[in-house]
Amino acid sequence: MLLAGISIILGTALLVWSADKFVAGAASLARNMGMSPLLIGLTVVSLGTSAPELLVSTTAAMVGASGIAIGNAVGSNIANIGLVLGVTALIVPLPIRSKLLRKELPILAVVTIISGSLLIDSSLSRIDGILLITALVVTLYLFAKYQPGVGDSTLFVEEEEELPHFSTGASLFWFTLGLVLLIASSRLLVWAATFIAQQLGVSDLIIGLTIIAIGTSLPELAASVASALKGHHDIAIGNVIGSNIFNLLAVMSVPAMIHPYSFEQELVWRDYSLMSVLTGMLVIFCYSSIRSNKKIQIGRGKGAFFIVAYLGYLILLFFQS
């Protein structure tokens, strides 16, 4: 248990560090290849910050820990809104200035509904995985097609400042090193989490929803808080929305395509339902301000609401387990 506990801490720290280097290398490489800063932020960075969840869930599915595989994806989305967005808004109120979010939010809502419909039978088959991957391709196309024009100078400046600047050689080095360490740390984390679950008599689903989900959401927390403190509010919120979309379409689908898996029914009515409610509340908070012509923002009060909801969820899991 001591070794597994140390492995959890070490694996999580290595996962966060390697994910940061992987994203930096991939984003810089894409930039050197001529991709626009905004498109890199929407695709490479958002997908890259979901790399820990993707690697952990894929590894878990391959070793038969299906609870960790699906729990990590759903739990990370709950943590992204309840913990990441909540903490970020509590530190710095997040005004929503960009028209971009008015396109991303509907996409997140639709993706949430589609993904939930595939989980009703408590399993994810290869066909389900293919459907989700297809939706991911469509989403990436929409992101590329409907990105703001060059005239949206504020958003372009923010994205430009956030991107790393490396030479092509350095970009390849950090991309490769980050990917290798991501794979190694994800295997270490899955082994340790599975061992602890077995020793404590707790389902691997609970471990995936809590310890693993929080650990793999740390890159989003760091990125969102840092962006908000710099005044890059669009990036802070966009990071959460983009990561949640990729978690549903990539983190759940890739493991299913490699090794189809099933999971406990309670994940659908308890965990996915809460994730859907939090997503719905995020949409309501944003669009209610738009419809009433008020200042559009996720303020400290709404941030506190998300944090309290997340803490209540963790308490519920504790007593049920």
Assess contact for 288 and 296: CB atoms under 8 A: no
Residue 31 has a pLDDT of 73
pLDDT value at residue 114:
93
* Strand segments (E) across the chain: 94-95, 123-124, 261-262, 297-298
Specify the pTM: 0.82
DSSP character at residue 147: P
Residues of the chain falling short of pLDDT 50: 150-157
Angle CA 237–273–319, to nearest 5 = 105
Nearest partner of 80 among 251, 236, 288, 200, judged by Cα: 236
pLDDT at 41: 59
Q: What is the pLDDT of residue 75?
A: 93
pLDDT of residue 57: 87
What are the pLDDT digits (tens) for 94-131?
776 656 566 788 899 999 999 999 999 989 999 999 99
CA–CA distance, 189 with 170 (Å, rounded to integer)? 28
What SS3 state is found at 81? helix
pLDDT in tens, 250-299: 999 888 888 888 888 899 999 999 999 999 998 888 777 555 555 667 78
pLDDT at 83: 92
Evaluate whether 103 touches 263 at the Cβ level (below 8 Å).
no
How far separated are the first and last CA of the chain, in Å rounded? 19
Question: Which domains, and CATH codes, for the chain?
Answer: 37-153+199-320 (1.20.1420.30)
In whole angstroms, what is the distance from residue 25 CA to residue 258 CA?
A: 26
